[in-house]
Amino acid sequence: MIRENLEEVRGKIKAACQRAGREEGAVTLIAVSKTKPLEDLREAYEAGARDFGENKVQELTEKIPEMPKDVRWHMIGHLQRNKVKYIVGKVYMIHGVDSLRLAEEISKEAVKQGVSVRILMEVNVAQEETKFGISVAEAPLLAEQIAKLPGISLQGLMTIAPYVDDPEENREIFAKLRQLAVDISRKNIDNICMNVLSMGMTGDYEVAIEEGATYVRVGTGIFGERNYQI
Ligand SMILES: *Cc1c(COP(=O)(O)O)cnc(C)c1O
């Protein structure tokens, strides 16, 4: 089933790229495997998935050694500063950076390990109280501050849009994130780039692609409903 789901999602990504006049290769599918057992991840891997997303440090660090080395792991959840040391050097990208203190902690650990860590700034475009992420207004200053830190490479922006029945309702949010990336890149800040837009989940990734997403994070659409009992 996972293979069929992956093929269906890939087909929809391709169609969305065509509608938007974008190249198919411009969008990377992240298979969000949180709560899912290793056998499911392996099935997705066999079907060609190489980018996996997890939102809990413990689950992530347990899964990493069990999967092939060419998997790119994406930490997509909220990251606590005291857990940074467990994932630096192990993940391909950290998506949820929303404070200078967290960025400083990542920088400190990266320098200690002699590595460079790719990160995205999480922006709460929808201004939902329950969500993490900085506001659109605060983002440019945080980008400038992060740019000065060693061991960190800011690559772009991430947002989590609200859960909606009609994905069209989130179009404006995705467009705002893209515009914010344009505004920040116009500042020509050294040591950062705004090439990555991580936006869109199972319910709305096609709209996100039409609005410029370069990473879409799809869980349920690939693996089915999550197993929260484990
Ligand atoms: C769980 C999760 C996803 C995937 O959600 P689905 O609706 O199952 O596709 C995407 N992004 C983040 C940050 C998540 O926590």
pLDDT band of residue 228 (cuts 50, 70, 90) is confident
Give me the number of domains the chain comprises.
Answer: 1
**Ligand 1: which residue has its CA nearest to atom 12?**
76
Taking residues 165-178, what's their average pLDDT? 97
The pocket around ligand 1, CB under 6 angstroms, is made up of 32, 34, 55, 76-77, 160, 201-203, 217-221
Give SS3 for 170.
Answer: helix
Q: How far is the CA of 183 from the centre of ligand 1 (A)?
A: 26
- For all residues of the chain together, what is the average pLDDT? 96
Taking residues 12-23, what's their average pLDDT? 97
Give the pLDDT of residue 129: 77
Range of 138's domain?
Answer: 2-20+27-223
Q: Is residue 230 part of a domain?
A: no
Q: How far is the CA of 199 from the centre of ligand 1 (A)?
A: 10
Q: Is residue 164 part of a domain?
A: yes
Q: How far is the CA of 42 from the centre of ligand 1 (A)?
A: 19
Position 182: which residue type?
V
pLDDT of residue 230 exceeding 80, the answer is: no
Q: How big is the chain, counted in residues?
A: 230
Taking residues 67-95, what's their average pLDDT? 98
Instruction: Identify the CATH number of the domain in which residue 118 sits.
Output: 3.20.20.10
Q: Is residue 116 part of a domain?
A: yes
Residue 146 burial (C-beta neighbours within 10 Å; 0-12, 13-18, 19+): buried
**Ligand 1: which residue has its CA nearest to atom 6?**
219
Q: Is residue 212 part of a domain?
A: yes
Position 141: which residue type?
L
Nearest-atom index, ligand 1, CA of 220: 8
Q: Is residue 229 part of a domain?
A: no
pTM (2 decimals)? 0.96
